[in-house]
Amino acid sequence: MITVVSVAIVGAAGYAGAELTRLVLGHPLMDLVTVTSSADAGRRVSELYPALAGCDLVYVPHDEAAIAEAVELAFLAVPHTAAMAITPGLLEAGLTVIDASADFRLRDPKVFSRWYGVEHVCPDLLSDAVYGLPELWREALPGARLVACPGCYPTATLLAAAPAIRAGLVISGRVVVDAKSGVSGAGRTPSAATNYVSAAESITAYKVGSHRHTPEITQGLGDLGLTDVRVTFSPHLVPMSRGLLSTVYLEVDPGLSVGDAHAVYAAHYAGEPFVTVHAPGVMPSTSEVRGSNRAHIGVATDGTGTLIVSAAIDNLVKGTAGQAVQCANLALGYEETTGLDRFAPVF
């Protein structure tokens, strides 16, 4: 028997948390009980986000014990390194934890420490965490107690690369990723690089060769079966509020036609509720997926032995909050698409 689950969103006032709030409020099998925010404690959700008018919940400070007592499922939309401090206690209390941060994505604690600059305080949980990219590893999600939701860049990149790798089309571990994200990917707190004057009418490559999603992309490509993985990842900040486009360059046999490559992608994603593969040579745009949990994919070849695949997602939905709900649905035994086609975007 399917029952309604009580839910807390920890870190609910940020952009990802706001998207989670929107989606959970519209989910017929989720009862949003608690929303936390240290900075905005005492404010109503609808005051901070008027698009959610009618939501009378008030942000409360983070309190692990109170959350554990009040709900059965917790979405964590907190900064990296914060989730691992509270996850063990929530799991011990019997909750299902869906973590949208990076704390449980990397299986090797030494790799985590090298890229995030801190020691992992609960490395014993890394082997228990399920990497939550349903289109590629759905079978691991039913019954999962701890789900590590992928980053937005790895989500689009791995969806773009997976069919070619799994079909044996890729002949080299050299992968080039050129990706562009809207400003909301940097979070709600503005910086010198993300304020309007800096970001408007400009595009900037940032953290080239040093972005923290690089080891996650590398790990995922290896899990797909690619060997000797060598990733060049160049992220860019573009002047739009939301959306992400990842264009991935893979080495293949020069004789591979775009029609044959497209057939592989169409077959791989046939029946996937949130993935659309465009016609051969037709590339996606971020406007197609804005506010949705969808990924749109385009496939092309250039005659030089390079397969070029673009994947467009909304960084806050399929890249974060929507994927978290999709994973929760699967973990709890709900229909995978439940609650993911209602309400307009918050912004």
Task: Report the catalytic residues.
Answer: 152
Q: Extract the runs of DSSP E, i.e. beta strands, from the chain.
A: 5-10, 30-36, 73-76, 96-99, 130-131, 146-148, 170-181, 204-205, 230-237, 244-252, 275-277, 295-301, 306-313
Give every CB contact of residue 135 below 8 A, 6+ residues apart in sequence.
Answer: 159, 162, 269, 272, 274, 275, 295
Kindly report the length of the chain.
347
Q: Enter the DSSP assignment of 327.
A: H
End-to-end CA distance of the chain, in Å?
A: 36
Q: What region does 272 belong to: left with phi over 0, alpha with psi -120 to 50, or beta?
A: beta
**Residue 153 contacts residue 233 (beta carbons within 8 Å):** yes
Q: Enter the DSSP assignment of 149.
A: P
Q: Which residue has the tokens 């900064």?
A: 79
> With b meaning 16 or more CB within 10 Å and e meaning fewer, what string describes 172-184?
ebebbbbbbbbbb
> With b meaning 16 or more CB within 10 Å and e meaning fewer, what string describes 229-251?
bebebebebbebebbbbbbbbbb
CA 305, CA 302: separation in Å to the nearest integer?
7
**Residue 63 contacts residue 36 (beta carbons within 8 Å):** yes
